[in-house]
């Protein structure tokens, strides 16, 4: 925690159930959760990977109208953060320079403050993200209330490279949004992977 700028950062984690393709409904779910986070005294509320679109959106994210709807929902939610309530961290498909990314955005003070793109795109089992998304560049941390927060997105923690980059560029804690499906034994497997990243970097992990 950076005591010079903040001696406290309260993060609410909204582990909800977004519906694939229901952009309007997912936006409303985010609003309800943000209102609850405000009542709980949170500084920021974090949602899951691709929350606005629902996960996994598959070919739906290739439709320009759907991309535009997701972007409009994120921009609307960003404007709503001007009301002094908690900021928002939320997953969304995002088009930048004609490339489509699996993105995670910080919304605060009425605007989109920062955005990060998933680097490691899974392409095995039920996953085919390499087919629909472009890989993002290696990320740096995002400053939230004076704390440098590293945000590796889901698969980005299954290897060490992205997390090492975030730690080396000043990340003080790691916040990892996930949207992947469950299989038997997965909870233990993910815990072991998370512990490896914590041990390697010495960073706290959400």
Mean pLDDT of the chain: 93
Structural domain that includes position 124:
11-205
Note whether residue 74 is domain-resident: yes
> What pLDDT score was predicted for residue 6?
56
User: Between 184 and 70, whose confidence is greater?
Assistant: 70
Question: Of 1-5, 109-113, 131-135, 146-150, where does mean pLDDT reach its minimum?
Answer: 1-5
Tell me the pLDDT tens digit for each residue of 174-197: 999 999 777 888 889 989 999 999
Phi, psi of 45 (to 5 degrees): -120, 130
User: How far apart are the C-alpha atoms of 102 and 91, rounded to whole Å?
Assistant: 7
- Does 60 fall in a domain? yes
What are the C-alpha distances in Å from 51 to residues 88, 179, 183?
Answer: 12, 8, 20
pLDDT of residue 200 exceeding 60: yes
Measured CA to CA, the distance from residue 140 to residue 28 in angstroms comes to: 30
- Within a domain: residue 5? no
Burial of 83 (0-12, 13-18, 19+ CB in 10 A): exposed
Give the C-alpha separation, 73 to 53, whole Å: 10
- The pLDDT score that the predictor gives to residue 126 is 74
CATH number at residue 88: 3.60.110.10
> Which amino acids are annotated catalytic?
49, 118, 154
The reply to whether 132 falls in a domain is yes
Using CA atoms, how far apart are residues 82 and 108, in angstroms rounded to an integer? 7
Answer yes or no: is pLDDT of 43 > 60.
yes
How large is the C-alpha radius of gyration of the chain? 16
Q: State the total domains in the chain.
A: 1
């Amino acid at each position: 925690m950076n005591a010079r700028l903040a001696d406290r950062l309260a993060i609410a984690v909204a582990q909800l159930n977004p519906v694939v393709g229901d952009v309007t409904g997912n936006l409303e779910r985010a609003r309800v959760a943000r209102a609850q986070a405000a009542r709980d005294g949170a500084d920021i509320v974090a949602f899951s990977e691709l929350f606005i679109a629902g996960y996994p959106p598959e070919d739906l994210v290739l439709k320009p109208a759907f991309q535009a709807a997701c972007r409009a929902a994120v921009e609307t939610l960003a404007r709503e953060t001007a009301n002094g309530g908690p900021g928002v961290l939320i997953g969304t498909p995002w088009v930048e320079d004609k490339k489509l990314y699996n993105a995670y955005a910080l919304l605060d003070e009425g605007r989109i403050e920062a955005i990060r793109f998933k680097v490691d795109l899974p392409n095995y089992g039920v996953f085919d993200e390499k087919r629909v998304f472009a890989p993002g560049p290696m990320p740096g941390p995002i400053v939230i209330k004076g704390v440098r927060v590293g945000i590796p997105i889901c698969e980005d923690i299954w290897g060490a490279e992205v997390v090492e980059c975030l730690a080396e560029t000043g990340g003080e804690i790691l916040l990892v949004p996930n949207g992947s499906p469950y299989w038997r034994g997965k909870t233990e497997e993910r815990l072991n992977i998370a512990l490896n990243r914590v041990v390697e970097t010495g960073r706290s992990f959400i």
